[in-house]
Structure 1
């Protein structure tokens, strides 16, 4: 038995990188919409007895979910020994409790649906807040990989005299790890959120680091509000415009354009396909997949 890489539409570039890193073959498929809007899906390659890694980043989960389920179910029905979801970005981690009466706890519902569909999930830096581990949420093996080392290596190779900046107190451990890896100082901002797009940033005294290049690092950039506000304050303090390095480049609406106006550069990993992609996590995921035991066909 060997691993086979099956990309969903829009994930072909990442899947090819992953397959090349692992020396694995790609699975060909066909999908389209019927005139009534329903989805057609067909696997064109032989998958019987193989481990199938279905590659689909979940930056737009509502549009992708049914096709994702159809692909996994078809692979199982065709005799795949196991079907793993490789989701470089894993959605529906935000709503992890009831904040207002009657709300859906969507993180739990989504986890139940994926757990009933796949044998394993592999993802990168899910937004864990009230869950200590993905295993507290998912009923199948759920592996969370960390992009901090690959971001740190990019910063070390491309930024002279960096000063690492975390967006809030919750980022201390993450930012300090990157700083320690590359031997750079770090500071952490204090953030107060007033809404989805409104944040207040309290800056520490950075006068001792005026000769360094600020590098704002964050796990997810969606509205970009925190990064944009922080970047504006750097300029007001007479510091260089920051480089912004993020793991998941969601960048809703005009967020990327607004951030690009106040940042020296914006870079991201390729967990979500975006113009800012500069660091690939395909080698990270391939190395992990290579450590997983392959189940024999039942």
Structure 2
């Protein structure tokens, strides 16, 4: 790939991910700086010319969603004012994606507000992974490339050679995506019946549909914040006779308290990706991370070279699988 017209930069919480991407691509992360003043104001500055370059900014909206979102807007504006040819936002995790609908009176559709703001700031394209719902792509007028952690996570599970696995969806809403995992792995599917009574991030598992007795239960979800659903579902799976309980997340958004909850739970192992920077999981022996940075690096290479990224949706090349937990 010719790197002559491409520049990859990292936001304040995207540096590790950008470094991994660039190692895969044989590129270097551009020079930049960002810091926060004592009054809370965010400042960003580009450290090299980007005139007529295709710029790729790496930053998730993760554990500090408001700060990270505003920083993205400032970076886009800075690149445009510095005469960049195009600006593509590489957003592995779009934290406001869960605000995708008006499901109660007098609330904001937050994902739509964020999408419009990113476009108004000047973004020409967005690349994200496992948005909370597919229709969020329609909130953007600019192109959105929607990648999936599924092939990377499934290949990781296959390499573990699990005994008699069953894929478990935490609720009916995620069952369609969980079915794709089950089909990829050639495993049966079970579905939890979950209910939420408020915004406390606590869910109650009412029932389990499917047979898990004597099997390795693999819970699949796009993200978890409190860990409550995973822990309660894990307890139900053990009660129903599951031999082992493993969890898979596209995005590890767990809080410090949630990590402790996972450690004290029947969950034997939680596998997730490096889509966000999460210092809370450091040192937790139950949580293992696989990198999707090569997946994004390959996607950027294909986008820049005007090639299709569709082959990355179903089964990714072996070179994109890290091969071992990081």
TM-score (ref. length: structure 1): 0.90
Q: 1:134 & 1:114 partners in 2: Cα distance?
A: 13
| Contact 2:191/2:210 (8 A) holds in 1 | no
1:34-71 per-residue CA deviation (whole Å, 9 max, x = no partner) reads: 34433332111222222111100101220123322222
Q: For residue 87 of structure 1, what is the aligned residue in structure 2?
A: 91
- Aligned partners of 1:165 and 1:216 also within 8 Å: yes
Does residue 249 (structure 1) correspond to residue 252 (structure 2)? The answer is yes
Find the counterpart in structure 2 of residue 96 from structure 1.
100
Choose the corresponding residue for 2:26, options 9, 23, 28: 23
The structural deviation recorded for 1:151 is 0.8
- Once the two structures are superposed, the pairs formed by residues 39-58 of structure 1 within 5 Å of their partners are 39-58=42-61
1:192 paired to 2:195: yes
User: Aligned equivalents of 1:56 and 1:268: distance in 2?
Assistant: 18
Instruction: Say whether the 8 Å CA contact 1:191–1:201 is kept in structure 2.
Output: yes
* Residue deviations 1:144-194 (CA, integer Å, cap 9, x gap): 111111110111112422221111122222222222222222222222222
Matched with 2:177 is 174
Deviations 1:203-226 (A, max 9, x none): 13525x41x311111111112221
5+ unaligned residues in a row in structure 1: which ranges?
none
Q: Secondary structure at the match of 2:250?
A: strand
Is the 1:6–1:52 Cα contact (8 Å) retained in structure 2?
yes
Superposed CA RMSD: 2.0
Q: Are the counterparts in 2 of residues 134 and 142 from structure 1 also a CA contact under 8 Å?
A: no
Structure 2: which 5+ residue stretches go unaligned? Answer: 282-286, 307-326
Length, aligned pairs only: 290
1:72 aligns with 2:76: yes
Does the 8 Å CA contact 2:97/2:136 hold for their aligned counterparts?
no
CA distance in 1, matches of 2:34, 2:115: 25
TM-aligned CA distance change 1:256 to 1:44, over 3 Å: same
Which residue of structure 1 aligns with residue 294 of structure 2? 283
1:135 deviation in Å?
3.4
Counterpart position of 2:311? none
- Indicate if the aligned counterparts of 2:73 and 2:117 stay in contact, CA closer than 8 A: no
Corresponding position: 1:127 with 2:129: no
TM-score by length of 2: 0.82
Which of 148, 151, 154 aligns to 2:153? It is 151
For 1:17, what is the secondary structure of its paired residue? helix
Give the equivalent residue in structure 1 for 2:37. 34
